[in-house]
């Protein structure tokens, strides 16, 4: 059986696991105040080209999003995001449970457009009733998006400009960041993300660690009580050093890049193989998530050798399925799928 | 100056005011446990054709919506509503502030469609990821809608059927109910609302009282702690008898109907007069809100004799403006506007 | 029957009612943006001796408290209050429903002590674990307290000093403010409240209006989005002018003072009469709430001529009962109660 | 250096780590729907003597508490807990952030008393104003308590009886459960907890795993949407199998008991050694947390060889310090501390 359900199906990358084992019996203080976390922070800031800044660790993506959005918004504000964004669809209402509305923009291949964002905010403030409405208080985008697509550097700059114009923070969900950075044609770097956003997170869970996400900001002290909010959101890991140790590994010997590159190589092999077989793409994704439109009969046959997920509800005749690669995907698995179509 | 900004621009209808004055010096217990509230409850249940049921009073619409929705939803559920619904647009995020997501459906002349509602819920439960998503836990519609339109009895029955099929409550916002009931062509009665919904409210603030809304349910004890939630939402008026006294007046000598009929007569006079002048309608509304598309120059001229609101942000050349009638609107005012176009 | 249950048992003071009637048919814009509200604001600021400041109107006390506390606290902070405070006991969890903890201090005759407050905050920041705890983010006191007692000017100054020392706002709940200002021996003025607090509210509902509270602050723009939060909390009255009209009346011809003085005269007459009869006081209250410890047999007898409330759960033999006076209380009623003991 | 700060200072117990390593490269589905979680569930139910029931995994204690309390309470209810309880003091307001009040009872050696609990609930419902107050909707206790003490089986039965009498759920926080079960004199078993509570959790983070808590209930389907609430609270680990694997290890070959027994042996060695040196105990704890009252000068000296925490804010001359043992504590470390006093 070959596994393409998602990028969280195995444990940690062996180099990460090795470090966890090597440090297992050491004693450290808790709650990410230990030296491993400090070391990881330094490496991450360096990788981002930041002289100073803030790095805080979380366990998973939903809690990172919910905590950061809660921290950045005032009570009367909502977060602007694509209608297809993870926070709008697949986080079980975590944002609203913290009291905030998700203000949706149309998605274009999973992305929002700077001009539509600008128009939305301008129109809001020109509406006489705006004080009865939820104010656009920050912008959320994901890189890569939930549909596997990427913002170009120009697109990112344009969105960042709009945010600066209206003085609202820009936050980027990087759950699958390694795969975005490594994608062919991508022109956005960690440094760009650090400089063009107010907060973004470097995904660990889906990119090589057991669990963990690293929130990065060029602002040292924008939300001084963010640490307490992490605790309040139940997101403060007692053995915080586990996150420090793992991110240390990810940012040593270029591991984060290598993980991204392998997954992208596998994803492109799959995409090209499927296209060669005449399989229809739902979307042209350059990253580790590939979406195929397949007859239900083909899907049934494929299930015998591979596991993968429906994207949305299945259709009566054809359905969209998602295949996800990661650092553990093998060429054999990819080829087996292609051959079975 | 003639006033068409909204239906909350004067005090109470004289017959309501008279009762408030007459009872002003009487002593009663507080928090709507007095005899006036009891009497109003009886009259309302009778008007709705309910042998038994629940009537609770609130001060305003936003707090009624927020409290009822909070009471009816479980924490993992959201409320389904039209994208143009008041709760989605003009309540400053009150629903989300209580922790709940508004799940939007497309609007068709301000209304949702039963078939789209059914498809949305069915698709939700057929999605493998539904336990990571906000469940559709109730349906909110407004009657009349925010665009002045009305559900026909058949449309209401169809929506009610879908709710029953999936065992989720249907709630109707009747902030302007008097104007819906009195509209020409309307075939929905108070009795229909009582039997086809789980909760609905009879608007007072915009229909003749100083303030106050009456929530009605055929369920005697569906949410036993609803009274406490009213307090928690800051919506429990200390001198609750003020609401009882006013709703007593509204449901005496057919006042609620008379208020509706007058406002509708004035609205139709305005609509027909404007149409005769060639003014373009944004929407064909049979109730007391009329939306006209006017050149900005005409708008400026009209402002000299009448007050009214832009609907949304104004446009560069033409804009949508809203004119609202109520029990205090006079034919002179209406004609003055028509003549000034 | 004579009524002492509370100070919300009749309608509005006749002078208030008269103004409501006189202005009933005038048209104004909604949501407290009308000229009556503006006029009331001016009168209130003048009565408080403020050259500039902010006055916003609410419908009732619980919603005022919930909204202001929500506006002033950051998400990681709680509000410090006496264990007997209204927000901690009798608001059905409205503060927590907005996400905030009430951090309690011991009560001394219903009041908190500045030294205990200071110690609490100091100890908090000396605790190594404080970032895992709810930070004291503001202070709530009521004047008069829930037990009818009053802070002296020195006590108020001392609490205000502590708040300034730690840079956290002080908020005063003045639901029964008229009765505090008029109490014999009281040395706190409106001006003192305005200068020593960040926000306080002048109670209308229990002091002469149908409903309504006026929030006052010497800060013009401390929370720029407070207006939107009022809407979000369902506390923004559509016909806001009703509040403006009523507060205009309260602050005309010294009405607010006269209301306070009458109720205090009645309360002292009752207190002295009861003491002369040997009735035990639960507490020595100088304001319009009087708490007596009476045998249950006496209570039963009194209920035949007067209505009043138990304070807490009744005891097996004796119970605490509360008698409340207001502007409508008559000497006949008071004497009837005294004679019946 | 010897480490007594807390029981989360090392990684996982070697037998746990071994299993994580051994299973690291296997593919499983996510979100605790894998076979390791299923296997762990079976073992846990068996260890609890439950034929059927529910076991769900969380990452940490605060999120477990916040999610379970949120799931069990209606919006108008609060959770009853000792004033010293973790949820009341050290979770940064996570319970209130979900909208719920913590209703405190006095603590007696960290515990609540059944008679006081019963009196509180009875008094609540005898209060005429109870519908304006937060209803006691569930009971939270911790075993061991935050002060290291234990409920006897009789005490637990008495509390459980009160909960049944008023039909409200009992929930037990077992963050340090291994150390309670293994304590000398303890007469409460896993089976007792399963039968006398509605929900309780078996702590992993502080008892041998990298992270993870196992929530157990004899009710199969009391809160059908609990899984979605775990997601909403950001507590659903993507690689859920990590929790299954670790709890599998804890409940294999009696590891959970062995871990408890070792830590207790070390704690008793420390306690007895300190007492022999004349050190004053803050409380007589039979579990792995020991609280000593020491002169500040002694504390300074001890810090040279051992790390440990202040309990609360330090005093001017003497302070309370907490020493915590776990499976990694060595007799050498314990003896070094004793000798250094």
Q: How far is B103 from chain A (nearest CA, A)?
A: 10
Interface of B with A (CB under 8 A): 75-76, 78, 89-93, 96-102, 123-124, 126-129, 131-134, 309-310, 312-314
- Low-confidence residues of chain C: pLDDT under 70: none
For range A121-138, the mean pLDDT:
96
What is the reported pTM? 0.97
Q: Give the pLDDT confidence score for residue D265 in this predicted structure.
A: 98
Phi, psi of C136 (to 5 degrees): -70, 110
Find, in chain A, the residue whose alpha carbon is nearest to that of C133. A228
Chains near A with 3+ CB pairs less than 8 A apart are B, C, D
Chains near C with 3+ CB pairs less than 8 A apart are A, B, D
Work out the angle at residue B208's Cα, subtended by the Cα atoms of residues B207 and B209, and round it to the nearest 5 degrees.
Answer: 110
Q: Which residues of D touch C129 (CB under 8 A)?
A: 90, 309
Distance between CA atoms of B236 and C63, rounded to whole angstroms?
9
Q: Which residues of D touch C74 (CB under 8 A)?
A: none
Contact flag D100-C102 (C-beta cutoff 8 Å):
no
Q: How far is D264 from chain A (nearest CA, A)?
A: 19
Find, in chain C, the residue whose alpha carbon is nearest to that of B17. C21
Distance between CA atoms of A252 and A44, rounded to whole angstroms?
10
Q: Which residues of C touch D101 (CB under 8 A)?
A: 93, 96, 102
Q: How far is B133 from chain A (nearest CA, A)?
A: 4
Which residues have C-beta within 8 Å of that of residue B31, sequence separation ≥ 6? B236, B237, B238, B240
pLDDT class of A14 with cuts at 50, 70, 90: very high
Q: Give the pLDDT confidence score for residue D141 in this predicted structure.
A: 98
Q: Give the pLDDT confidence score for residue C234 in this predicted structure.
A: 97
Contact flag D232-A328 (C-beta cutoff 8 Å):
no
- Per residue in D269-287, pLDDT (tens digit) is 999 999 999 999 999 999 9
For range A316-331, the mean pLDDT:
97
Which residues have C-beta within 8 Å of that of residue C295, sequence separation ≥ 6? C317, C318
Q: Which residues of A touch D30 (CB under 8 A)?
A: 5-6, 8-9
Q: Give the pLDDT confidence score for residue C41 in this predicted structure.
A: 98
Q: Give the pLDDT confidence score for residue C334 in this predicted structure.
A: 98
DSSP notation for D124-176: HHHSTTGGGS-EEEEEEEESS-TTS----HHHHHHHHHHHHHHT--EEEE-TT
Q: How far is C97 from chain D (nearest CA, A)?
A: 4
| Token pair for A312 | 């949305």
Q: Among C72, C76, C125, pick the best mutation site for testing chain A contact (most A Cβ within 10 A).
A: C76
Interface of D with C (CB under 8 A): 75-76, 78, 89-93, 96-102, 123, 126-129, 131-134, 309-310, 312-314
Find, in chain D, the residue whose alpha carbon is nearest to that of C320. D127
- CB distance D53 to D46 below 8 Å: no
Q: Give the pLDDT confidence score for residue A79 in this predicted structure.
A: 98
Distance between CA atoms of A83 and C275, rounded to whole angstroms?
69
- What are the C-alpha distances in Å from B149 to residues B105, B110, B146, B185, D329? 16, 7, 8, 11, 73
Nearest to B210 among C8, C205, C239 (CB): C239
Distance between CA atoms of A232 and A187, rounded to whole angstroms?
37
- Pairing of β C318-324 and β C135-142: unpaired
Which stretches of chain C are DSSP H helices?
A: 14-23, 35-47, 61-72, 86-89, 94-97, 114-126, 153-166, 177-181, 190-196, 226-232, 241-250, 255-276, 296-302, 331-340
Q: What is the ipTM of this complex?
A: 0.97
Q: How far is A240 from chain D (nearest CA, A)?
A: 9
- Per residue in A178-218, pLDDT (tens digit) is 999 999 999 999 999 999 999 999 999 999 999 999 999 99
Find, in chain D, the residue whose alpha carbon is nearest to that of B227. D131
Q: Give the pLDDT confidence score for residue D246 in this predicted structure.
A: 98
Work out the angle at residue B149's Cα, subtended by the Cα atoms of residues B146 and B152, and round it to the nearest 5 degrees.
Answer: 130
Contact flag D102-C99 (C-beta cutoff 8 Å):
no
Which stretches of D34-145 are DSSP H helices?
A: 35-47, 61-72, 86-89, 94-97, 114-126
pLDDT class of A45 with cuts at 50, 70, 90: very high
Find, in chain B, the residue whose alpha carbon is nearest to that of D68. B75
Q: Which residues of D touch B76 (CB under 8 A)?
A: 225, 228-229, 232
| Residuewise pLDDT in 10s, chain B (341 residues) | 999 999 999 999 999 999 999 999 999 999 999 999 999 999 999 999 999 999 999 999 999 999 999 999 999 999 999 999 999 999 999 999 999 999 999 999 999 999 999 999 999 999 999 999 999 999 999 999 999 999 999 999 999 999 999 999 999 999 999 999 999 999 999 999 999 999 999 999 999 999 999 999 999 989 999 999 999 999 999 999 999 999 999 999 999 999 999 999 999 999 999 999 999 999 999 999 999 999 999 999 999 999 999 998 899 999 999 999 999 999 999 999 999 99
Q: Which residues of C touch A74 (CB under 8 A)?
A: 225
Q: Give the pLDDT confidence score for residue C192 in this predicted structure.
A: 98
Q: Among D239, D241, D306, pick the best mutation site for testing chain A contact (most A Cβ within 10 A).
A: D239
pLDDT class of D26 with cuts at 50, 70, 90: very high
| Token pair for D128 | 């005429």
Half-sphere exposure of C257 (CA within 13 A, CB side): 9
Closest CA to C264 of C212, C336, C329, C200: C329
Q: Give the pLDDT confidence score for residue C281 in this predicted structure.
A: 97
Q: Give the pLDDT confidence score for residue A191 in this predicted structure.
A: 98
Q: Give the pLDDT confidence score for residue A154 in this predicted structure.
A: 98
Q: Which residues of D touch A233 (CB under 8 A)?
A: 63, 94, 97, 234
Distance between CA atoms of C234 and C240, rounded to whole angstroms?
13
Q: How far is A239 from chain B (nearest CA, A)?
A: 27
């Amino acid at each position: 059986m070959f596994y393409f359900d998602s990028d969280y199906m195995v444990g940690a990358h062996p180099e990460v696991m090795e470090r966890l084992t090597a440090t297992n019996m050491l004693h450290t203080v808790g709650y990410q105040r230990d030296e491993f976390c400090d070391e990881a922070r330094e490496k991450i800031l360096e990788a981002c080209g930041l002289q100073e800044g803030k790095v805080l660790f979380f366990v998973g993506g939903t809690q990172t999003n919910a905590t950061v959005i809660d921290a950045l918004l005032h009570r009367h504000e909502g977060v602007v995001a694509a209608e297809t964004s993870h926070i709008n669809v697949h986080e079980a209402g975590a944002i609203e449970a913290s009291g905030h509305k998700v203000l949706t923009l149309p998605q274009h291949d999973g992305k929002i457009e700077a001009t539509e964002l600008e128009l939305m905010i301008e129109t809001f403030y020109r509406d006489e009733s705006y004080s009865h409405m939820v104010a656009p208080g920050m912008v959320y985008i994901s890189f890569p998006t939930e549909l596997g697509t990427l913002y170009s550097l120009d697109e990112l700059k344009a969105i960042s400009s709009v945010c600066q114009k209206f003085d609202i923070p820009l936050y980027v969900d990087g759950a699958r960041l390694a795969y975005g950075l490594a994608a062919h044609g991508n022109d956005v770097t960690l440094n760009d993300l650090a400089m063009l956003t107010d907060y973004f997170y470097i995904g660990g869970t889906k990119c090589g660690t057991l669990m963990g996400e690293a929130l990065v900001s060029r602002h040292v002290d924008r939300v001084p009580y963010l640490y307490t909010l992490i605790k309040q959101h139940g997101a403060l890991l007692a053995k915080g050093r586990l996150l420090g140790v793992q991110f240390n590994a990810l940012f040593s010997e270029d591991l984060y890049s290598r993980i991204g590159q392998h997954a992208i190589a596998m994803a492109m092999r799959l995409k090209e193989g499927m296209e060669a077989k005449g399989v229809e793409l739902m979307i042209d994704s350059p990253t580790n998530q590939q979406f195929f439109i397949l007859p239900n009969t083909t899907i049934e046959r494929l299930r015998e050798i591979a596991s993968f997920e429906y994207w949305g509800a299945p259709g009566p005749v054809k359905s969209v399925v998602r295949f996800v690669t990661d650092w553990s995907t093998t060429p054999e698995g990819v080829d087996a799928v292609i051959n079975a179509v």
